[in-house]
Amino acid sequence: MSTGHSRSAYEPLPPRRPPWLFLFGGLLAAGLLAALYRAAGGDFGQLLRSLDERQQGATRSGDGRMETQDLPESVARLLTDADEFWRGRDLETAFGYESPRVTAFYGNLETPCHEGQLATGPFYCFVDERICYDVAFVDELVTRFAAAGELARAYLVGHLIAHHVQTRQGTTDRVRDQNMLPTTSAPERRRLKLQLELQADYFAGVWAQHSPEFRRLLAESNLEEALKAVETLINERDSLKASGQVVVPESFAEGQHSQRLHWFQLGYDSGQMRGHDPFETTEH
């Protein structure tokens, strides 16, 4: 299965335009670059730094909120709902929540989390706190699995933003620091990675309980079938890893759908961040 063309780190999605606009657009871009070059005092290095700053800040608005204009409307609505929910939780628990950056892409993507490799499938990059949303992957979920695919799409939104919550809490850094210790064994590293994934599923369940849209989708489908749908597509993408073409950050090797379902359900039933913690139990 082809994963599509690669995209450089956080290159925005191309707009769909009539062919005759491309020549005009190219001339306009050239003029704009010339103006920016003059504004930078003829310093090409300063121009590049300025453009980089503009790009890095492109997915957060001036008030720190997410900008989701490149996402499908249904996904943007779910992601905004989850973002507002975790902002509200931060007022209660003060874990330093800020909105994640968001990048939509098709096929595969270079990120600071996977230097020298392309990543595919929806995933979260903790280095710059960014949700990377593979539009083609999720479109295929909905096309192939219908209602289960729609619920799976909502689950992925909850799971990805939950990874961001873990980063803001400092959990991600603590796990990485533990993994880097020479005394940490390979089985211990796998256990820590599993616990990180299952905690994200728990947090996703906490949000889902408070989300009218998620509850509506849940009434129309089955969560276990939705997780199986995600697992199927991720495993198909995962098979490309053997060729060295891509990495699949959200691999279901860390927590099969039954484990994920268990921890999501715990979060959904509890509705509280601190109700259960996979880092504090030996049963997963």
**Ramachandran area for residue 115 (φ above 0: left; ψ -120 to 50: alpha; else beta):** beta
Predicted pLDDT of residue 46: 47
> Do residues 210 and 271 touch, judged by C-beta distance below 8 A?
yes
pLDDT by residue (tens digit) across 204-229? 999 999 999 999 999 999 999 999 99
Predicted pLDDT of residue 18: 42
Q: What is the mean pLDDT of residues 34-55?
A: 47
Residue 89, CA atoms < 13 Å, CB-side half-sphere? 22
Predicted pLDDT of residue 249: 76
β-strand 118-120 against 108-109: which pairing, if any?
A: antiparallel
Q: What pairs with residue 105 in β-bridges?
A: 134
Q: Mapping DSSP to helix (H, G, I), strand (E, B) and coil, where does residue 103 land? A: strand
Token digits of residue 195:
């616990």
Predicted pLDDT of residue 28: 42
Predicted pLDDT of residue 82: 97
Distances in Å between the alpha carbon of 279 and those of 171, 174, 192, 193, 276? 10, 12, 8, 10, 9
Residue spans of beta strands (DSSP E) within the chain: 6-7, 101-105, 108-109, 118-120, 123-125, 130-134, 246-247
DSSP 8-state symbol, 99: P
Q: With the C-alpha atoms ordered 250, 170, 187, 272, is the resulting torsion angle positive or negative? A: negative
157-161, 190-194, 246-250: which has the minimum mean pLDDT? 246-250
Predicted pLDDT of residue 69: 74
The alpha helices in 40-134, defined as continuous H runs, are 44-56, 73-93
Q: Mapping DSSP to helix (H, G, I), strand (E, B) and coil, where does residue 10 land? A: coil
Predicted pLDDT of residue 276: 92
Residue 30 in this model has a pLDDT that exceeds 70: no
pLDDT by residue (tens digit) across 166-206? 999 999 999 999 999 999 999 999 999 999 999 999 999 99
Nearest of 248, 251, 254 to residue 189 by alpha carbon: 254
pTM of the entire structure?
0.78
